[in-house]
Structure 1
Amino acid sequence: MNGLLMNGAGNAFLLADIRDGGAEAFTPERTQALAREHRLDQILLIAGSAEFPVMRVLNADGGEVGACGNGARCVGWYLMQADGSDRVTMGSLGGPLVAEAAGAMRVRVDLGPARTGWQDIPLAREMDTITLELAVEAPGLSLAGPGAVSMGNPHCVFFVDDAEAIPAEEIGPVLEHDTLFPERANIGFAQVIAPDRIRLKVWERGAGLTKACGTGAAAAVVAGARKGLTGRAVTVIADGGELQVEWRADNHVTLEGPVAIDGEIAIPV
C-alpha cells in the first residue's frame, strides 16, 4: 500500500486510502513509528466507500481523534482529484465535512458548527466558555481567562500580547493535561494584530507544537469574536502559512488555505 505525504499550510500528514483494506497496518506503535520517521503531525486514513468516504485521524502519539481541519482539506483535495469534482462530502468522527476547490492547490472546508457549551468542549465542570476560570503562571509570564471552543475536538485559546514570546512547548503540555479538560485539549496562543488578522501558535494534544492547526485556527476566530476581539472573517497566520477562517451566521466555520504534495511512500501491510 502506498501513502501520500501532504501538508496543509505546513501541517504534515501521511494520507492512506484504506477503502480496499490495510487498516491493520496502522497500529498505535506503527503510527508512532511512521510519525517519527517522516515527521508527521497526523496520519489521515480514508475509510468508508466511494459513495461516502470517511476520514479517520490518527495523531502522532497513535491515538485517534475526531477532527483535523487542515487534514480535511488535504483529504478533500485527494478525493476531488480522484473523481474530477470540485466539491466532496466526507464523514468523520466529528461529523460530516464538505470540502470544495478554492483555486489551484487551495481547498475550503466547512468544518460544521462551532460548539461552545461547557459540556460540548467538554469541561470537567460548568463554566462560562467565553472566559474560562483558568490561569497559568511562569517566570515572566501570566496568562488567564482563555476561551474554549469545540470544533469536533476541544480547544482552549489564550489571547496574548506577543505569540512569539510564549514558551508554548513548555506550558502547552501542562495545559493540555489540566484536569479541567477530561479529554485533554489543544492549546492555542493567539495575538490579535487587527480585527481581521491574528497570529496563532497551537500546541496540539497528541502531536505537540505544529506549523499550523486548522481546527485551532477556527477555534481562535470563534473565541476571539465571542470576546469582541476580532470579527468573524479573519486571516490566521501560522508558522506554515496563512489560513482564512469565517464563522458564518449559521454557526458553521469554514477554513481555507493551501495544500501541497511532499512525496509518496510505501507502507508495509
Structure 2
Amino acid sequence: MLTVNLPVPVWADLVKFARPFIKMHGLKNHFVIVDGRERSFTPSPDIIADICNVEAGVGADQLLVIEPATLNGIALGVYARMRIYNVDGSEAQTCGNATRCVADLLLKESATDQVVIETGGGNLRCWRNEASGQISVAMGTVNLDWHSIPLAQATDTLNVRMNHGPLQVAVALNIGNPHLVFFVDDLQSVDIPRHAAQAQQDPLLPESANIGVAQIIGETAIRLTVWERPGILTQACGSGACCAVAAARAKGLIQSSIVTVYMPGGALTIEQDDKGQLTLTGPTVIAFAGYLLETHEA
C-alpha cells in the first residue's frame, strides 16, 4: 500500500487556537458574530476596530458577542445575552438587524419557535415568520421623553428644531438607542454624510444619536437612510426603521399600522399596534464563517 505524506497546510497551527466567527447581514447591515458562551470574549476597542475594518479585517458595521444570560435574564426566560460593539469600540444598547441575525442562529440552535435575547436595551422576543421564513423581533415601544433620548434641554421631541441644511425639524425617540428622524420631501437630494453628520454632533445631543432621514412615499411606505453612531452610513437600520414609522404615525404623516420601510440595502416590514408596540420583520443571510486569530484576542 502506497503511503503519501501530504504537507500540513500553513494555516493549520494558526487556527488551532483561533476563535470561530460567523459573518451575517440583514439587508447588507453586516455583522461579525462570536459565540462567547463557553469561551468568554472581551475584546479591546482596538481589536474591535481591527475586526470591523473592511479593508484590513473581516469587515462589519458592528461586532456581536453572544454571552450566557444573566441570572435576572434566566429568571425571565432569556435564552442568551447579546453584546453589540460599534466600530470605535463603544457599546450599543440594542440593534434591530443585529438581533434578527443572532436570533436566526439561536432559533436554529434551540429548535424552538421563539427565543428571548437579552440586550443592554432590554429583553427582545424573536421568532421566525412561518410564511416567509424571515425573522421578527418584538422591539417594544419608543420613548419620547427628552430626558430619555437624551437631549441637553427640555424640548418638544415631536418638533426638535435644528439647522443643518435641509434637516430642520426632527422627531427624537429612544428605542433602546437614541434616534432623530427628519422628514424631507426629496431624500435623494439630501447630502446625508454632510448634513446628518452635522446633526449627529449637535450640542442638543450630549450622547450623539442615530440620524434618520425619511421620505413618505405612500400610505404604507417610507424611504429611509440612516447615519448611525459613531458616524457610519448604513445600508439598513432596524431600530431606525422602527423609529421612522413611530415618528411618522406620531406626527400623523401615516395612518397604517403596517408599513414597509425601504432602505439602500432593501426593505423591512414594521408593525405598530394600538399600544405602540413595534414588531420588526426582515430577512437574514449567513455570508461566511471563519476564524479570528490570536492577534484578534483581548
TM-score interval, normalised by the smaller of the two chains: over 0.9
1:46 to 53, 56, 66: 66
Q: Partner residue of 2:143?
A: 115
The amino acid that maps onto 1:208 is I
Q: Partner residue of 2:213?
A: 189
Report the Cα offset of residue 242 of structure 1: 0.5
SS in 1 for 2:148: coil
Q: Partner residue of 1:218?
A: 242
Q: Partner residue of 1:260?
A: 285
Report the Cα offset of residue 172 of structure 1: 2.0
How high is the sequence identity, in percent, across the aligned residues?
35
The amino acid that maps onto 1:29 is D
Q: For residues 197-249 of structure 1, what are the alpha-carbon distances to aligned partners after superposition, in whole Å with 9 as ceiling and x for unaligned?
A: 01100000125000000000001001111111113321000111100011222
Report the Cα offset of residue 168 of structure 1: 0.7
Q: Does 1:34 align with 2:51?
A: yes
- Larger-Rg structure: 2
Residues 27 and 236 in structure 2, CA contact (< 8 A), matched pair in contact too:
yes
Q: For residues 109-154 of structure 1, what are the alpha-carbon distances to aligned partners after superposition, in whole Å with 9 as ceiling and x for unaligned?
A: 01122111111111111111111122212xxxx3311111111000
SS in 1 for 2:155: coil
Q: Distance in 2 between matches of 1:264 and 1:165?
A: 38
Give the structure-1-normalised TM-score.
0.94
Q: Distance in 1 between matches of 2:262 and 2:196?
A: 19
Q: Residues 227-242 of structure 1: matches in 2 within 5 Å?
A: 227-231=251-255, 232-242=257-267
Higher mean C-alpha deviation, range 49-58 or range 207-216: 49-58
Residues 96 and 112 in structure 1, CA contact (< 8 A), matched pair in contact too:
no
SS in 2 for 1:134: strand
Report the Cα offset of residue 105 of structure 1: 4.6
Q: Distance in 1 between matches of 2:115 and 2:235?
A: 26
Residues 197 and 237 in structure 1, CA contact (< 8 A), matched pair in contact too:
yes
Q: Partner residue of 2:116?
A: 89
Q: Partner residue of 1:166?
A: 190
1:202 to 226, 230, 245: 226
Q: Distance in 2 between matches of 1:164 and 1:17?
A: 39
SS in 2 for 1:70: helix
Residues 59 and 207 in structure 1, CA contact (< 8 A), matched pair in contact too:
no
SS in 2 for 1:98: strand
Residues 172 and 180 in structure 2, CA contact (< 8 A), matched pair in contact too:
yes
Q: Which runs of 5+ in 1 are unaligned?
A: none
Bigger strand share: 1
Report the Cα offset of residue 250 of structure 1: 2.1
Q: Partner residue of 1:7?
A: 25
Q: Distance in 2 between matches of 1:22 and 1:266?
A: 15
Q: Residues 171-182 of structure 1: matches in 2 within 5 Å?
A: 171-182=195-206
Q: Distance in 2 between matches of 1:38 and 1:158?
A: 33
Report the Cα offset of residue 191 of structure 1: 0.6
Q: Partner residue of 1:126?
A: 154
Residues 13 and 40 in structure 1, CA contact (< 8 A), matched pair in contact too:
yes
How many residues align structurally? Answer: 264
Residues 105 and 260 in structure 1, CA contact (< 8 A), matched pair in contact too:
no
Q: Distance in 2 between matches of 1:135 and 1:218?
A: 24
Q: Which runs of 5+ in 2 are unaligned?
A: 1-18
2:107 to 73, 80, 88: 80
Q: Distance in 2 between matches of 1:8 and 1:112?
A: 20
Report the Cα offset of residue 12 of structure 1: 0.5
Give the structure-2-normalised TM-score.
0.85
